[in-house]
């Protein structure tokens, strides 16, 4: 019997009440109604405005971000998910409105995620840690995001060697969007399949060795 995965929704910065912001509570309700996850976690983050890496990454780990978990990150939350994936295996990740540079914003540079101060991006490790077999990542972006150009997400998807899903006219994803649900379930299904294949392979290996 395979354990159900958990979902963690990681908001963008500036959200002092995540349940009143953007599509987060809508997605939490949708995923809970469908019952395909063991639990759907949506919490207002500590340090919500500055969204510092040194605060957010430990907090995500304290929420149980592990190999039985799909992380759904938006904006700063997507960037936090990327850095977390460098060191922590997850079941998979959905990156919404992600970027790889601070876009010249001093407040973003100070958050500690971006090169040069945050260190180089470890794309290979990120990909390897997404799912039991790796690569279980979806990147979503709009073609008219006023804050993060599409080229940022194109770079992320290219470096991770995953597909980029472009949602025309969805700005910075402030509103509920059905494509989010589809992306989450796509990652969930692949994550479950990878976990199953991995445990079967481990089981066969044990039998072979005994």
DSSP string, 137-166: EEEEEETT-SSS-HHHHHHHHHHHT-PEEE
Cα separation, 132 vs 135, whole angstroms: 9
pLDDT value for 203:
67
Residue 108, CA distances (Å) to 19, 42, 113, 115, 194 in order? 23, 23, 8, 11, 35
pLDDT value for 36:
96
pLDDT value for 1:
58
Cα separation, 171 vs 125, whole angstroms: 30
pLDDT value for 69:
97
Q: What is the DSSP letter of 206?
A: H
pLDDT value for 200:
81
Backbone angles phi, psi at 64, to 5 degrees: 95, 30
DSSP string, 101-148: S-TT-HHHHHTT-STTTT----HHHHHHTBSSSS--EEEEEETT-SSS
pLDDT value for 202:
73
pTM of the model: 0.94
pLDDT value for 16:
86
pLDDT value for 199:
81
51 within 8 A of 45, measured Cβ to Cβ = yes
pLDDT value for 51:
94
pLDDT value for 28:
98
Neighbouring CB atoms inside 10 A of 133's CB total 15
Cα separation, 53 vs 111, whole angstroms: 6
Cα separation, 7 vs 18, whole angstroms: 15
Q: Which residues are catalytic?
A: 75, 145, 172
Report, as ranges of residue numbers, the positions in the chain whose pLDDT lies below 50: 207, 210
Neighbouring CB atoms inside 10 A of 119's CB total 12
């Amino acid at each position: 019997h395979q354990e159900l995965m958990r979902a963690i929704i990681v908001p963008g910065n500036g959200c002092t009440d995540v349940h009143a912001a953007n599509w987060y509570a809508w997605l939490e309700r949708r995923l809970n109604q469908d019952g395909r996850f063991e639990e759907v976690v949506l919490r207002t983050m500590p340090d919500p405005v500055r969204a510092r890496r040194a605060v957010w990454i430990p907090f995500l780990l304290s929420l149980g971000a592990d190999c039985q978990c799909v992380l759904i990150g938006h904006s700063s939350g997507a960037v936090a998910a990327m850095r977390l994936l460098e060191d922590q295996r997850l079941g998979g990740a959905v990156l919404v409105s992600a970027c790889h540079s601070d876009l010249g914003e001093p407040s973003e540079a100070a958050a500690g995620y971006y090169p040069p101060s945050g260190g180089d991006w470890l794309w290979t490790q990120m990909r390897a840690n997404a799912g039991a077999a790796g690569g279980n990542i979806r990147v979503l972006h709009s073609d008219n995001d006023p804050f993060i150009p599409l080229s940022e997400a194109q770079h992320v998807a290219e470096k991770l060697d995953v597909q980029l899903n472009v949602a025309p006219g969805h700005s910075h994803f402030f509103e509920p969007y059905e494509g989010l649900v589809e992306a989450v379930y796509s990652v969930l299904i692949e994550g479950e399949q990878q976990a199953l294949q991995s445990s079967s392979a481990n089981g066969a290996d044990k039998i072979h060795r005994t």
